[in-house]
Structures are given as structure tokens and as C-alpha cells.
Amino acid sequence: MQSQVLESQPHREPSAQRDAFSELVYTHQSMVFSIAYAFLRDRCAAEEVAQDVFLELHRSVGSLESPRHIVNWLRKVTAHRSIDRQRRMRPLWALDEVREPAAPATPGDPMLKEALRALVASLPDKPRLVMILKYQEDMEASEIAEVLEMPLGTVKSHLQRSLKLLRDKLERKYGELSL
Amino acid sequence: MNLDDRLRDAFRREDPPEGFAERLRERISQEPIAPAREIKRKVEAPRTNSWFRWMVPASAFAALTAVLFSVAISNRRIEEERAGRQAVQALQIASEKLNLVRSKVLNQEGLDK
């Protein structure tokens, strides 16, 4: 809707266009930042990625047609910028290097959440993005395939393999929890 | 709570650091970037210009070729006319010489008789 507002009123005052863009930023900033943060696990880097994404949106907002288009565009660009940023940063730790909590975790335990985030962060780029889009953005596999421009079968196999990996790892440590 | 729920719980959206929008606004104001619509126009304009840029030398080349062609045709016509005139002149000279020879022959025949 915001894009339509910007696009359908070409003679709108620049200040009104700025307001519409600010509205877009306000609406989507947590989505963009959270995808980048879940992927990079670094708040500063995630903010830089999010800023770059919105700058890019500012340049191309006129060519985006619908709210759904904007959301998909933001997710896609955030995913790509996060991968680019990751390549410039030092590599994240490997799955086996993820530290294990000393005490058994309980449901809702912040340590378990942190362990899950760390485990997902240790996955390769594409499977990691698939997991983030699935569990943070609650997207269907077909939507993820569209955003990441990969075959649906690949998305599904990434999901299955990543979940199996996480389940195995977590069951060894948190066997008493129903995973 | 199964693994799916735990993952959803672990991956909740969170807000960016405070002042995010202000910092973004600051960056946007510093960048000399036009909105997409204006960029599109700017992109289209050079495309039109480049078309014209090709058209001007192409037209000049075509005009020059036409001029050279017409000059060549005109020169050829002049040459042909000159050759024609020379041929007529040569025929006239030959005709005069033949007439002269004929009159001499006729005179000689008259004296002999």
C-alpha cells in the first residue's frame, strides 16, 4: 500500500513521500533487522545490512507494485545482503563448536533459545536462510523458494536436513525435553 | 513444546537498535539519490540521446554519400558530353577532308578528260 501511495501520487509533495517512506521503514524495520541479525548474529552488522536494504528500497520503491511485492523484495534483498556481509566477516563457528549449556534446559529457557540460534547460525548460508525465513517469518516452503530463487525441492530438503541435524544435536543434550 | 515451536520461540522478530530510523534518514539525506521514478527517466534519456547520437553521423554520412554520388554522375555526364562533342568534331573534320579529297579527285578527272 505504501508503495502504491508513493507510486500513484507522482505529484505528491516530497515531504509526503518522505512520510510514506518513513511509514514503510517503521512497518518493516523489525523484519529486515531480525532476518539480518538471525543470520549474522551481530547487531552492528545487522543494522548496517538493514540500513543498506532500506537505502536500496528508497532508490527503487517506485518500481515496486504491491505491499506483497515490497515484503518479498525486502526479504530477498536482506537475504542477499546478509550473505554478502557474512562473506566479508570472519566465519561463524561450526556446528560442533557450539558451546553446550552446563545445566539441562527447561522450556522457554533463554539458554536453549540461544543454543538453537547458535545451531542455526552454524548452518551453511542457504539452509540457514531457509530456517530463518521458515521460523522467524513463518513462510511456506513455496514462498521461501520464491524469495531465495531456489527450487521448491531444494528448500524442502534444506528444511528436512537442517531439522534432523538440530534434532540430533539437541536430543543428545536435552533428551528429557520433547523435541 | 516441539522443535518447531521452540524454533519459532527462538526466532522472534526484534526491533533494531534505537535511533535506527533517524540514522537511516540521515544517510538518505546525505546521498544524492533520486527516487526510482526520476532515475528511470534519467536512464531513459541517455538511451534516447544515444539513438540521436547515432542518427546524426549516420545522416551526415548518407548526405555526404549522396552528394559524392551526384557529383560523380554529373562528372560522368560532362565527360560523356565532351566525348560526344569530340566525336562530332572528328566526324566533321573527316567529312571535310573527304570532301576535299573528292573535289581534288573530280578536278583531276576533269583535267584528264
Can you give the residue range of the structural domain that contains B68?
Answer: 20-112
Give residue B77's pLDDT: 92
> In this prediction, does ipTM exceed 0.95?
no
Query: What pLDDT does residue A1 have?
Result: 44
The answer to whether residue B8 sits within a structural domain is: no
Structural domain that includes position A79? 2-88
Is A178 inside any structural domain? no
| Distances in whole angstroms, Cα of residue B83 to Cα of each of A169, B73, B75, B96 | 105, 15, 12, 20
State whether A167 and B3 contact (CB < 8 Å): yes
DSSP string, A80-106: HHHHHHHHHSPPPPPGGGSPPPSS---
Task: List the CATH number of the domain containing A99.
Answer: 1.10.10.10
**Position with higher pLDDT, A20 vs B1:** A20
Let me know if residue B87 belongs to a domain: yes
Interface of A with B in 95-124 (CB under 8 A): 107-108, 112-114, 116-117, 120
Report how far residue B85's alpha carbon sits from residue B82's, in angstroms, rounded to the nearest whole number. Answer: 5
If you average pLDDT over residues B3-30, what whole number do you get?
A: 90
Angstrom distance (rounded) from CA B9 to CA B26: 34
pLDDT value of residue A100: 53
In sign, the C-alpha dihedral spanning A144, A75, A32, A87 is positive
Res A10: pLDDT? 44
Closest C-alpha to A5, from A15, A57, A16: A16
Tell me what pLDDT residue B57 has: 86
Task: Count how many domains chain B has.
Answer: 1
| Any domain includes B69 | yes
Is pLDDT at B93 greater than 60 in this prediction? yes
Residue B45: predicted pLDDT: 45
Task: Give residue B38's pLDDT.
Answer: 45
pLDDT at A172: 81
pLDDT at A5: 40
Chain B residues within 8 Å of chain A (Cβ atoms): 1-4, 6-17, 20-21, 23-25, 27-28, 31, 33, 35-37, 39-40
| Length of chain B counted residue by residue | 113
Residues A83, A15 share a domain:
yes
Of residues B2, B12, B21, nearest to A25 (C-beta): B21
Record the pTM. Answer: 0.62
pLDDT tens per residue, range B25-83: 998 888 765 554 544 444 444 455 566 678 888 999 999 999 999 999 999 999 999 99
Q: Is the Cβ–Cβ distance between A55 and A101 less than 8 Å?
A: no
Residue given cell 536430543 in the structure block: A171
Q: What's the gap in Å between the CA of B24 and the closest CA on chain A? A: 6
Residue segments in chain A with a per-residue pLDDT below the cut of 70: 1-18, 90-108, 175-179
Nearest to A62 among B9, B16, B36 (CB): B36
CA distance A81 to A28: 16
- Considering the domain architecture, whether residues A53 and A120 belong to the same structural domain is answered as no
